Amino acid sequence: MAVEVKIGITDSPRELTIASTLTSDKAFAEVEAALGGKQQLLSLVDDKGARYLIPVTKIAYVEVGASENRRVGFGS
């Protein structure tokens, strides 16, 4: 299962897109905790093991996609 998290960064024309192994609910909870003032950094790990630290004060928006199973084969 993978979920796509898109993060808009203030003063940047591009968004950061992370394919995370978290479920959609868990990713949303991580973002909500960071933006709720409980943390100064949003910490996420992508599906390849790369780690991301994003300062909460620089986050313009966050979009958490739905969890989906990756399909393999001709029927995908």
pLDDT confidence of residue 66 = 78
Q: Whole-angstrom Cα distance, residue 2 to residue 20?
A: 6
Task: Count CB neighbours of 74 within 10 A.
Answer: 5
Q: Whole-angstrom Cα distance, residue 74 to residue 76?
A: 6
- Tens of pLDDT along the chain (76 residues) come to 679 999 999 999 999 999 998 999 999 999 999 999 878 999 999 999 999 999 999 999 999 987 665 566 676 5
pLDDT confidence of residue 14 = 93
On whether the CB atoms of residues 38 and 14 are closer than 8 A, the answer is no
pLDDT confidence of residue 39 = 85
Q: Whole-angstrom Cα distance, residue 60 to residue 24?
A: 20
Domains of the chain: 3-64 (2.30.30)
